[in-house]
Each structure stands twice: as structure tokens, then as C-alpha cells.
Structure 1
Amino acid sequence: MSTLPGPRGTRMFVEASGDTPLVWFEVCAQSGASSDPFGVEGLTRHASMLARRGAGDLDRAALDEALDGLGAVLDVAAGRDTVTLSGLCLTRNLDRVVDLAADVLAAPRFEALEHERLLRETPQVIDEIHDDDSSLATRWFDRECAPGHAYARTSVGTTASLARIDRDAAAATWRRLFVPRNVLIGVAGDVDEDRAATIAQRLVERLPDGPPPPLPAFDEGAAPRGRRLVVVDKADRTQAQLRLGHLGPRWGGDDTPAMLLLETAFGGMFSSRLMQEIRVKRGWSYGAGCSLRRSRGAHWFEMWMATAIEVAGDAAALTLQLYGDLVARGLTADEIDFARSYLVGSMPFHLATARQRMQLAVRDVAFGLAPDYTATLPDRLADLGVDEVRAAAARHLRPDDVVTVAVTTAADASDALTQATGAAATIVAHDAY
């Protein structure tokens, strides 16, 4: 991986590989949906999707047709921390695809017709979330885990916030995001550094000057104290989608290696404690796991499972008990060794292609880390033992402050969940958010 100063104050990451005649590139703005104005959630996503719907001399249909004719892909993805334009094409078509990408970046059309169409389409996305219990549980958990935190707000939007999005604001948001000093450029595949530098120059040469937009504040002390229970009421459920967790530490902090071992041994493998106790021994859920969310700021430590409604309370109670034991006693030496072996052995799968290596480098830098942070993370696990892992658990895991979100039929499950968590149930309609 070559890390280079890019044109106009950008940073550039190049991973050359001539194995196939393909080139991948990414233009990553280091700001995302967590910076949406309050009450206008969904603005960054809307701006990002609208920018892709026609640019330069081409409307949406013509742009799609041009890409199809080149066998190429241009996508825009809006996350909480970043907005990324990504491209994939054959080497022989690279120049033409870069021209199209440069138009999307610097000259999106933001047509009124597409703006109105997208405003009609996005409520359908929200309806699809309401229909899918797993997605709905995640949406409500994000909202309830640490209210007021930058990541607690939806990137898709709500019915009310979508009504406040106007076309001029969307265009201004895009222009504010894609200024050179806020941009990372990744190129991978059948290119050398000189060709990559030329590509980068063409991608950003027409972008407006300006300062990087300010980042939202990420307050690790904002987490509510005490256990809470939110039951998302949905009629005629036979299952309960459960999410349990709290605000965790920032990915990339000093304790990330220890947290990675905790995550893996507790809920990241088939042999992990959660999977063994919830699925293998009791058959309560097909899967059970946990994860520390990977983001620029402090984000959630989350546990999940989907149980039959009759055992939802028992599953929540056991999960909280296991979580308390994890904090009190940490991991055994054998668990640490096995988790470490698993992580070291699985890392090559995340670094197998030039595209993966480039994308990880771009993500790490967008998170404020070194470009090789993820790739070298297994090396940081070597010296961690029982005491270090237990100390990290004590610093960051808070079983007494867990919020439990359950998507289920409240009349059939809320009493058992209240008994399991020790928290009074707040019951909300499934389509209230």
C-alpha cells in the first residue's frame, strides 16, 4: 500500500495489482449523516443519492446507460461518518469512467424531478424497515441506546424530517462535503502510482475550495445510567428480535485490542459464550452475537438474538447474567488464546484483494487512525493476557446500564422482559419512528 499526498490537499492510497484488468477507486468525504442538521435527518443520504441521479450533460437515464455501455459501476454510499463515491471498471474504460465520476462530484444536476421522486421513494424505504423486524430493532436500538448522541439519529430520516429537505439544501450539502481538504482518494487494481495520481487529479480538479465541515461532538459521557427497556409493539409476532447494549468506547482507542478479544470470545464465533448458551445448549435463537460498532466516535457495544416470544424474557435474563459475569471475571486464558488465534487466522480473508486493502486503509484514515491500523491489529493482541482483558472490560462494559430493545407483541412479552431486565417497559408503536 502506498500512502501519498494527493492533489489539492487530498490524501491518496494506492494498492497496485495487475492480476486482473480491473480498477477500483473511491472518493471519500470525511463527513456523513451524523452531521445532518437536527430535524433534517436524512439530508446527507438524500443529497448523496440525488447527486448520482444525473451529472454534467447526462440525466439519470443517460448516465446509467453510459455506465452500462462501459460495463462499469458508480455508486454513492452515505454512512454516519463518510460519504463515498466508488467506481469499478475495466482498465481500458478507466478514463471515461473517471470523467463520469468527476461530473458526479463536481457537476451533479440535482434535478427537481429526481428530487421529488426521491422524496416519494424514501418513505417506502422506511416502510420496508417497519416491515422487517431485524432492521426495525436496529433502528430503534440506535435511537434509544444513547439519546442525544450523534449516532442516535437516523441516516435515512423520518416522515417529518424528510418533509424539511429541500433541493437547494441538498446541493449545498454535497458541495460542502466534497471539498479537496475533506477528501480521501483510494485506487486499487491495474494501475501504478503515476496513473493513480493522474486519476486523482482529474477527480478533484473541479471541486470547490473550502474548509472541511466541522465534525459532530462524540461525548462518551452521554450514555444514560440504569437499565432501560423499550418494547416495539408489533401485532401477531411469534418471535422477539432482541438488541441489548450501551454506549461503548471509540474504535481505535487504547483498549480496542482487548475489546476485540472480548467481542470475539463473548459473541463473535460459533464457540463464543453467547452462541453456546443461547443456541447450542438451549436452542432459543438460531444466532446470538455481539459487536463493538466500528465508527469514528464512541459507538455502541451491542448484543443481539431473535427468540421465540415464549422465551424472550429468559433469553434476555440469561444474556444479562452472562454479560455481568464477563465484566466481573473477564475471559479465561484459554478463551483469550482461542480468540486471538481466530482473529490472526481470519485477518488474511479481510486483506485478500487489492480492493479490500485499499478500502480498509481509507476507512481507517477516515476514522482518524493510521492507514494500516486494521491490518496490523492482530499484532497488538500478542501481549494481552487475562488481567489486561479483564481491566478493559471493567473500564468499558456496563451491565447495569444496558438498554434492551425488543420488537415483538407487547402484550405477550413485556411482562417477562420487565422481570428479566428489572426495568419498566416503555411500549412504542412499531411505526412511530
Structure 2
Amino acid sequence: MSTTGTVTIDDINEGFADLHKPYNKSQALLEASRCTYCYDAPCIKACPTGIDIPTFIHQIRTQNVKGAAKTILSENIMGGTCARACPTEILCERACVRHHDQGKPVEIGLLQRYAVDYLMESTDEHPFVRAPETGKTIAVVGAGPAGLSCAHRAALLGHKVTVFEAKPKPGGLNEYGLAAYKMVDDFAQKEVAFLLGIGGIEIIYEQYLGKNLNLEQLRTDYDAVFLGIGLGLCNQLKLEGEDLKGVFDAIDFIEELRQTTDKSTMTIGQDVVVIGGGNTAIDAAIQAKRLGAKRVTLAYRRGEDNMTATEWEIDLARKNGVDVRLWLSPIELTGDTHVNSISFEQTSIESGRLVGTGERIQITTDMVLKAVGQKIDASVLSDVLIEQGKIKINDKYQTSIPGVYAGGDCIDTGEDLTVQSVEDGKRAAHAMGHTLFGIDFKEL
């Protein structure tokens, strides 16, 4: 094990325990009593999936917890994951009126988790019943949040759905890309099993679009196709020394961590540098520290206001001992065969543009984690129109190819969030209903 020093296996296990302790019944009832059940509630408008938040909180308050869960899941079938990982601090909770009149919003995320977990743990029955079989078939490429949401809603509407997934497990980023302390107890797989309880959905694994999966053949074999392929390629620094040992894509590091049962067996450096300013960078940095890295530096080329990670996540990194350093742009990685240092140029804004100042610093490191964004693998989408690095769709989630729809991180909604991907999948399933049955999309 590489986590030398004072970090023990018990420390690691504690570091990867549940980030937010779930509510018990008394806590949930007390917190639910703070909701004012607003008319035209701003929290609903702030939720990408449009969950009727005041209603589900009222249902908790009246001890109709299963009803609360059904209210949540009717709009967001992955409400359990979103309750754990959604940035509620910049969405529903920021909009909460209690945030303004009491200085503390209602803890909507924890209440949502309480309700959904209660339902999932107390019954084997799916809360929704499929519509009569339509005889229509839907192919979904990708078993991430967008694909699974589309599959569930399409199955609910009575279509037969086949999901084609490249990985050996379903869940997408929920399974492979979120920090381990956000998704404990194999919750991602429990949620998928619950979702599949609707029936009418089959998942086929190790299916790679552009390799053993052909889009044109899917169009021939199915009435409609949904692409929920995410962003399959990592951006690279394109710097000298990037191919040295000890240099990794942060998403690969997080995936390995998520798939490792005994976290104490993970290899971690003692001087880790994470490059990036998003939630992936934050997740990688915190987990490196919790694995036992002596020093973890997160370097970002702009100021904190430009980081896509939320203020809460950045603060969490600092509380975990991560040194967040701003206005640093990497220029070179050095070492014989293994990275031993990384050089940065200090940056600033001049005339609205990011420029280098010419001043350089060097940081000693034995592990570098790159989290500078991901991009779509356009090579597997020969005839699908790509615009500014994302699949172009119209207002009905249709791509440039008839019968082919898309949603999630592979399209440009402005928000690469699980909750937005769930909404994309749901709305695309309804849009397919417009195509297959002539239902007015705007009425759904």
C-alpha cells in the first residue's frame, strides 16, 4: 500500500463513509416543518426536473413518506442519486425562501433522500405501472443517467426498450464518476435495479458504438434511437512529459477508486497535484487526500469565481486539507520515467483575456491527476451533426438524423449535471411519443 505515514485502514474507511449522514424520522419531520409550502414555489423552478418540492415535503410532514417518494420519482426516477450528489446549494436550496428569511434553506436534498430511500427499502414493488404495450421498440445507447431515465420513461409509456452499454455495469457517471463518499453502499446499482423494476427494459453490456454497435443498424432494427453516450474522451494538456508514469486522467483515478472494494489497496502518491477547476478535480483531490496523500495541490489557471465547482465543493476541499492554488497554468512535467515535478506559469487577466505573466513556479510531485474537461468521441458519430463539440439537437431532442434523439452530457444544455441528464432522458422519451403517435410534445 502506498498510503504511508499515519493514515490507517480505519482512517481510509472513515474517509469514504457517507458524506452526509441521512435523516432519521424525527429529523425529517422537524426539517419538513420548516417548509412554508410556497405558492408558485421558486424551488420547483430551480429544479431541472421540476419536482414538486413543497408537495413532497408536505407529504413527509404528514407521514405519507411513500407518497412523497412517488412525487419525487414521477419527475426524477433517479431522485436517490440526485439527493446525494446534486448541487442543491446552487439549485433548489439557493431558491428556498427560508434561505432569505432565516438564513438557512430547507434541507431539500436530505429530505428527498429520506423519502426515496424509505420507499426503496420498504417495498420490492415499483411505484409506477407500465402503460399497455405499444408494440414500439426503442434503442438506448448508454446506461448513464440520461439513457436510464429515457429507458424508464419510454418503458412507462408502454414501449419495449433495449439499452446498449459499453461498460460491464450500468449507471454511467453515477457508478464510475462520482466520489465514493457520495455514493456509498453500492447505491448506484441498487437504484438501477429499482429503476428496472418497471419492466420492459433489457440491458446488453460491452456494446461499443462504432465498433460492435452500428447506429444505422439500430435505426433499422428499432423505431427510435436515443444517444446518451456522455463525453467519452478526456482533454489532454498537450505538454512535454505528459506521458510520464504517475500522470493520470482524474476520471480514470475516480473510476478505479469506485470499483475498488478495499480502498486501502489503492496506489496514491505522497505529493499529488490535481489540475482543473471543476467537480471532477475537487472529487479527485479530496479522495487523494483521504487515501493518505501527504500533500494535495489543486491548481487552476483562473480565479476561484471562474471555477465550475461550486463554492461548497471548493470549501470542502480546503477543509480536507487540499491546497487550492489559483492563476497557475501548467507548462511542463518533468522526470526520468516517473513524474517528479510540474512547472506552472502564473496567469492574469488583461483586456478580458487570460495571459501568462512570465513568472514560473515548480511543484514537486509524484502523481498528477488531470481534470481539464472531457469531450465527445465524434469518431463514432459519422452522420450525426456535431456543433461546438456537442451533438446538435432541436427543441424535441432530435438530432440531424431522423429517428435519432440525444440527451445528457453529449448535448449542450449548459449544465453537465446528473439532474439535467435525467430531465433530458425523460423529455426525449416523450418526444419519441410525439414521433411515434403524433402526441403534441408541448402538452406533455
Normalised by the length of structure 2, the TM-score is: 0.28
Which structure ranks higher in relative contact order (CA pairs < 8 Å, sequence separation ≥ 6)? 1
Greater helix proportion: 1
TM superposition score normalised by structure 1: 0.29
